[in-house]
Structure 1
Amino acid sequence: MKTRLSFFIFLLLCSLSFAQVKISGKVTYKSKGVRDVNVTLKDTYDGATTDGDGNFSFETSEKGNKILLFTHPKYIDVEKAISIENQEISVNVELKEQINEIDAVVVSAGSIEASDKKRATALLTPIDIYTTAGANGQISSALTYLPGVQKVGETEGLFIRGGTGTESKIFMDGSLINNYFSNSVPGIAGRDRFNTSLFKGNVFSSGGYSALYGQALSGALMLESIDLPDQSSYDIGFSPIFLNAGFQKLNDNKNSSFGATLGYSNLKLMQEVFNFNTNFEEAPQNINGDFNFGIKTKSGGFIKYYGMFDSNRMGVQTQSLEPEKYDESSVNLKGKSTYHNLSFKQKFGKYLLNAGTSYSFNRSDLDFSTLKSDVSTGNTRLLNNGNYINFKTVLERKINRISALRGGVELNSTNEKLNFNDFVEKNYKDLISSAFLETDLGFSNQLSAKIGMRTEYSSYLEKANIAPRIALAYRFAKDWTTSFAYGIFYQNPESKYINAPANLDFQKSQHYIFQIQRTTEGRSLRFEAFYKKYDDLVKVRNLEYIDGQNQYVQTANNNNGYGYAKGLELFWRDKKTFENIDYWISYSYLDSKRDFMNYPLSLKPNFASEHTLSAVAKRFVPKWKTGFNLSYTYAKGRPYYDIATEIIDGKENYYIRNSGRLKDYSALNFSLNYLPNLGKKDTKAFTVLVLSVTNILGSKNIYGYNFSMDGNRSAAVVPPVNIFVFVGAFISFGVDKTQDAINNNL
């Protein structure tokens, strides 16, 4: 009996030791149940997954002190200490959101980013720019197919939301580019000097931009150059108007590279083929080249250098609007330019240092002459030399995965010399010293903010400013976000209007921007409303500088100008609905008025169109390895003014002698990109054949009017040619990007 009893007690104890204990509970986030949370006993295989209400339950034979682990990709891991005996255990847990770069909402009011980091909403990558019909491979031209940028063809620059072309600035690797556009003559816009393929990404801000950048009332374009090429390559490009060649050499360890390009262009042949509106005495021609290198340091840092030179010439002849004085006039240009950019990036523990410096030199030599019966009646020479140095350093520290603090200093030196007919000489010097501080704050994956402050001091103005900036972003639904941005922005008066002593101050603008955006796989929808207020804009007067010859120059008089710009913008891009078709549509409504320069009262600016509509469509046929691209732009006619002066009671006054509205602008463009197989099948080579037709319907667009001295005669300012056809080939040896191009819908 004792033996049986002992055996029974032994079996009972064994069954108790292996008895299953139930562990259950509920997992919540903000008092709501969370599904698909993994609940496990640490270092065991026992556990469960929460249901749709956040409940879980499982049994375990483990005993003693254990750790209960709760994990989910979107929430911070939670560990709960429990003691397992023989009774059931109930554990309830409240989760905290896991903040990370992938899920966090990004502040985007006023800006569009194209980079490897923003592939979901990437816009204007190099492939986008090259395949946008009518952009002619230029970044600035491609931007006109986005909302907020006006189509202004008679002069270079980015005209953003009611701002002039000089009120926007362009930066490369953080440093200011003072000579992004080539030299040109009045009525003909300069071209981009920089090769689009040099850049791997960009951030375009049509307002409310970061405190790291300044001296721009309207907007900023931040370009980021390529670090190291994927592999060594040799490139050539040729067409009836240009020839260029270059190489990129990557070392065997893939930690450094260097490269160079050289190019020449001349429009003389195209001038013979097409009926140009502009009478070129000397066809536009250009010689350019660049050199670059990149070095990855042993400590993980990176050094980049880029240098370029550019030389261009052209001569334009026009019929006189003053027949009693002369029959015709001409202007000849000789331009030279160089740019050098050196940048350094290095991590020091939790800190990231970005430092860079750039140097620009620009020389514009304009020779104006007039003829009467083939006899010279006058000659005027305007020579301008500019030297510009920019230095900038930024130190950044990560607070957490999506929060950071950064600050730094910037120096921008300007030294310009102007000579007019050896009678007038001007030497303008200014040093703008800046300091800035900015923080990114990620409160949650749904809410984030960017807060910054910038201060500047101008040695020429002998004045300082303080510019606060703030932006907020909130995700109110799965794919929907809203953003708000506010900022104050300052800019020195343009140096070309500083020709006499005047008590001047910074020009000022305030930006208010509200945005709603929906982003899904392959689709993006953006709506923005904005209001800009301008204060302290420059007013000018006519200054006579050669006695008895009635020759005047406009010079800054005071900062009594003001204005506003408000509007609505819509952007839709879709790469998903139709197979192998990428298209986008943008619309801008702009209401703007200004009293500045020589305006006699508050007027709609002559560079601002009330309605602008653009559409871009790209269809790639893989079987043919051919891309077909279309673009269309419509802009309501801009106003034009003939502003003259009169003397009343010994005082000079401006008045509007002639005014009106230009005909509506319209242009349909087409381009074709063909990727043939050249050479042997295993040869690494990439070839693109390009056919591009600008303004294929031949619309006779007008950019403005020039008026005679008495206002009785006028001449339209028109594009150099109504229809332009480009045919060219681009070949790269040592690298085959055909499949990449196909994948990117080239």
Structure 2
Amino acid sequence: MKLLTSFFLIFHIQVWAQTTVKGVVQGPDGNPVPGANIYLQGTYEGTSSETDGSYVLQTELNGQHILVFQSMGYRSREIPVTLSGSSYDINVVLKEAIGEMNAVAISAGAMGASDEKKAVVLRPIDIVTVPGAMGDIAGAFQTLPGTAAVGNDGRLFVRGGDASETAIFIDGMKVGNAFGTTAANVPTRTRFNPNLFKGSFFSTGGYSVEYGHALSSALSLSTSDIPLRNQGDISLMSVGGGFTQTLVGEKNSITATSNYFDLSPYQALVRQNFDWERAPSGWDAEVAAKQRWGKSGMIKAYLRKESSGMQIWQPSPGVQERGALIRLQNNYTFAQSTFKQAFSKEWDLYGGISYSRNVDKLGLDQQDVHHINQVGHVKVVGVKGLSDSFSLKSGLEHYLFSLRQNFISERLQGKLIDHHSNFFTEADYYISKQWIFRGGLRSGYSSQAGQAWLDPRASLAYRFGHQGQLSLAAGKFSQSPEPEFRILQPQLQNSQSNHLIVNYLLDKNGITFRAEAFYKNYYKLLTFRGQPFFYTHIGQDGEGQARGFDFFYRDRKTFKNTDFWITYSFIDSRRKFAGYSEKVQPGFAPRHNGSVVIKHFVNMLRSQLSASFIINDGYPYTDPNHPGEMNAKTRGFQDLSLSWSYLVKPSLIIHLASNNVLGRENIFGYQFAAEKNASGKYENIPVGLQAPRFLFLGIFLTLSKDKSANQLNNL
């Protein structure tokens, strides 16, 4: 369980002194530039120009800042401003440009979440204010097209792919074991606090050659830069509490956080169906440091340590006793350091090093297993603008994958060490203001498998006169099997997939519409028999396809003080993989998936009322009482979640949220007995949410000389 310190919104109350900046944005021909993005650099204070090019920006910030003007097809303008509570008129003329990424951009498969980019689908604050997500990053992304809500798991399942096929990166560096370790049918969460991040790049396929070791999807999270001010943040919640202290210098900052959670008191008050011997509890601590380097460089360092545990009795079909006792103790360490430096003559260099170590001590009934998984990643990337219309990106990276398993009772040990070396290069060519082509090649070599590979990828985009754009992406993607299989069979080769995506995107005047069709085929998928730690008959004769389409519509304009989005996804996925002997629809891939998120700002009450609703048509499963595999399906999944956020005063926020408020009994499948009963039937128990709903209450207090400061500063 991660601290849920980022559920909230920026409330619109005018009780502090404001600076007003207004003016008109024009093109070189004197015509107005509507929809231009205008913001204060390093903050999320911004606005957009109207149809006549006029804009008004009001802010409570003060001091020296940079005002940035951006619009598709034009060069950016940066103007220094001094904010002091007065009113300023600043008129701007933008020059045309075709060589910048804010002209036509590749959008096939990509969903950005940053106010620094056009074609924004979700802003950073949106990621942490979806009621049903309960502050979990992956939970928020489950309201986006292409994803499936698998409530008894909690990880990201994208377009018919398994959760292990989605890779997560922080500032471009690989994160090993990004989700917390848990027991079967107890949903997990991402480990990282959403307050760390200023934006994200979520790709459902067709992503850049910079991202590898991911068969279906990539999620890249960008950490925030230097905070605005010194402050301390206190969090008191129904599941625990924490404290964060931020110290800011002229060119550097350091933030330290410590948190503790224990679900025992909550579950003593709110009845659960879990049979806990010891409810989940744990602590985490993290330190994030940032240092500006020269005129245009930045160095970031981050360290996180956490420890958690649980003991749970898991029932078995046809067995009257409590079942098997699962004991779990997890210790996790993640550390990384990254740098970014812009040089003269259109030359940028960035990269870093990351390391994760995940230690699981598992007690599986009478069997004790120690599981130590380590991932290391080193990367250096250079980007060179060779002209206004052509840029080249090239990089080198090296991965270390290490796994050690100790079976304590049998005194057995297994060990895996694998090194991956990769080189990638990618070019962007602006054919005109309407056309851009991206082509790239990613190569790799595995020391353990003795395998080399090449993955070509290409994208093409065209921007229409009405500001909509059409994109096409295609490419090859590779990923080595999970270490627990390679430790048993070291010579396993990469699984591979091919992606083809067609996308249309329109982002204009507060309304975003996105439609996408896709086709993916998979080969060399892993097949096996047996249970975790005891796999047999491991092979790579699996294959499959996934095809479908999805829609996304977001409206921030039609209804006053209301922001909402609607998604629908159709996913037709069939795979021969894991323990299946033929191509089947996976249990984690419902065909029809939809979601609605609504947020309404009530200025008079200083509150935000939010609702999210997720629905699908059910999960396939195998009923051994009938012939065939995946021969049955559960009833449809539905989850209505609500939240209320109240700004008591600028530095104090109260948040109340509940998921599944209707108490619907959502079933994700059934667990069947290994043998028939006296009636000749295989008995079963449902696999579902053991907690009908989860209630969250949080009180968040900020201590700072600036009495308007709160925990929304970095969102």
Structure-2 residue corresponding to 1:568 = 549
Instruction: Kindly state the Cα deviation for residue 418 of structure 1 after the two structures are TM-superposed.
Output: 0.8
- Cα distance in 1 for partners of 2:403, 2:497 equals 26
Structure-2 residue corresponding to 1:456 = 444
Measured against aligned partners, the alpha-carbon deviations of 1:224-258 in whole angstroms (never above 9, x if no partner) come to 1012111111111001211000111001xx20111
Instruction: Kindly state the Cα deviation for residue 100 of structure 1 after the two structures are TM-superposed.
Output: 5.3
2:683 equivalent among 689, 713, 716: 713
Q: In the superposition, relative to structure 1, how do residues 461 and 579 fare at CA in structure 2: closer, same or farther (>3 Å)? A: same
Q: How does 1:318-357 map to 2 (within 5 A)?
A: 318-321=314-317, 323=319, 328-350=323-345, 351-357=347-353
2:463 equivalent among 460, 475, 478: 475
Measured against aligned partners, the alpha-carbon deviations of 1:192-222 in whole angstroms (never above 9, x if no partner) come to 1101010011110010011001011101001
Instruction: Kindly state the Cα deviation for residue 402 of structure 1 after the two structures are TM-superposed.
Output: 5.8
Instruction: Kindly state the Cα deviation for residue 605 of structure 1 after the two structures are TM-superposed.
Output: 0.7
Instruction: Kindly state the Cα deviation for residue 386 of structure 1 after the two structures are TM-superposed.
Output: 1.3
Q: Quick check: 2:113–2:124 contact (8 Å CA) kept in 1?
A: no
Of stretches 685-694 and 510-519 in structure 1, the one that deviates more from structure 2 is 685-694
Q: Percent identity?
A: 33
TM-score, structure 2 length as denominator? 0.83
Instruction: Kindly state the Cα deviation for residue 518 of structure 1 after the two structures are TM-superposed.
Output: 1.4
- 3-state SS of the aligned residue for 2:139? helix
Structure-2 residue corresponding to 1:398 = 385
Q: How does 1:633-672 map to 2 (within 5 A)?
A: 633-641=614-622, 656=628, 659-672=631-644
Structure-2 residue corresponding to 1:44 = none
- For 2:486, the aligned partner's letter is I
Instruction: Kindly state the Cα deviation for residue 503 of structure 1 after the two structures are TM-superposed.
Output: 4.6
Of stretches 735-744 and 394-403 in structure 1, the one that deviates more from structure 2 is 735-744
Q: Quick check: 1:402–1:441 contact (8 Å CA) kept in 2?
A: yes
- Cα distance in 1 for partners of 2:613, 2:448 equals 45
- 3-state SS of the aligned residue for 1:500? coil
Q: In the superposition, relative to structure 1, how do residues 134 and 542 fare at CA in structure 2: closer, same or farther (>3 Å)? A: closer
- Cα distance in 1 for partners of 2:606, 2:421 equals 52
Match status 1:436 vs 2:424: yes
Measured against aligned partners, the alpha-carbon deviations of 1:349-380 in whole angstroms (never above 9, x if no partner) come to 332110200010101111122xxxxxxxxx11
Instruction: Kindly state the Cα deviation for residue 421 of structure 1 after the two structures are TM-superposed.
Output: 3.7
Measured against aligned partners, the alpha-carbon deviations of 1:556-601 in whole angstroms (never above 9, x if no partner) come to 6222110000001000000000110000000000111001111011
- 3-state SS of the aligned residue for 1:276? coil
- Cα distance in 2 for partners of 1:708, 1:248 equals 54
Q: How does 1:533-612 map to 2 (within 5 A)?
A: 533-542=521-530, 553-555=534-536, 557-612=538-593
Q: In the superposition, relative to structure 1, how do residues 429 and 696 fare at CA in structure 2: closer, same or farther (>3 Å)? A: same
Instruction: Kindly state the Cα deviation for residue 403 of structure 1 after the two structures are TM-superposed.
Output: 3.7
Measured against aligned partners, the alpha-carbon deviations of 1:165-193 in whole angstroms (never above 9, x if no partner) come to 00000000110000211111111122111
- 3-state SS of the aligned residue for 1:153? coil
Match status 1:300 vs 2:270: no
Measured against aligned partners, the alpha-carbon deviations of 1:324-359 in whole angstroms (never above 9, x if no partner) come to 9x6522111100001001001123333211020001
Across the two proteins, how many residue pairs are aligned to each other?
A: 623
**Runs of 5+ consecutive residues of structure 2 not aligned to the other structure:** 1-27, 33-71, 76-94, 677-681
Structure-2 residue corresponding to 1:214 = 212
Measured against aligned partners, the alpha-carbon deviations of 1:381-410 in whole angstroms (never above 9, x if no partner) come to 122011221101101112345642110111
- For 1:309, the aligned partner's letter is K
2:517 equivalent among 525, 529, 540: 529
- Cα distance in 1 for partners of 2:433, 2:103 equals 4
- Root-mean-square deviation (CA), in Å? 2.7
- For 1:698, the aligned partner's letter is G
1:703 equivalent among 668, 680, 696: 668
Structure-1 residue corresponding to 2:109 = 110
- For 1:610, the aligned partner's letter is R
Structure-2 residue corresponding to 1:51 = none
Q: How does 1:25-174 map to 2 (within 5 A)?
A: 98-99=97-98, 101=100, 104-118=103-117, 120-174=118-172
TM-score, structure 1 length as denominator? 0.79
- Cα distance in 1 for partners of 2:309, 2:126 equals 30
Structure-2 residue corresponding to 1:496 = 484
Q: Quick check: 1:246–1:261 contact (8 Å CA) kept in 2?
A: yes
Measured against aligned partners, the alpha-carbon deviations of 1:248-302 in whole angstroms (never above 9, x if no partner) come to 1001xx2011110000011111211222121111111120010111111235321
Q: In the superposition, relative to structure 1, how do residues 260 and 710 fare at CA in structure 2: closer, same or farther (>3 Å)? A: same
- For 2:373, the aligned partner's letter is G
- Cα distance in 1 for partners of 2:489, 2:561 equals 61
Structure-1 residue corresponding to 2:698 = 728
Measured against aligned partners, the alpha-carbon deviations of 1:476-523 in whole angstroms (never above 9, x if no partner) come to 232211000001000001112235346522100000000111111110
- For 1:725, the aligned partner's letter is L
Measured against aligned partners, the alpha-carbon deviations of 1:685-712 in whole angstroms (never above 9, x if no partner) come to 5222100011011100012221211151
- Cα distance in 2 for partners of 1:735, 1:631 equals 36
Q: Quick check: 1:250–1:256 contact (8 Å CA) kept in 2?
A: yes
- For 2:545, the aligned partner's letter is Y
Match status 1:315 vs 2:322: no
- Cα distance in 1 for partners of 2:160, 2:456 equals 22
- 3-state SS of the aligned residue for 2:622? strand
Q: How does 1:408-447 map to 2 (within 5 A)?
A: 408-423=395-410, 424-447=412-435
Q: Quick check: 1:126–1:197 contact (8 Å CA) kept in 2?
A: no
Measured against aligned partners, the alpha-carbon deviations of 1:404-425 in whole angstroms (never above 9, x if no partner) come to 2110111110111112244232
Greater relative contact order (Cα 8 A, min sep 6): structure 1 or 2?
2
Q: Quick check: 2:400–2:420 contact (8 Å CA) kept in 1?
A: yes
- 3-state SS of the aligned residue for 1:699? coil
- Structure showing greater Rg: 1
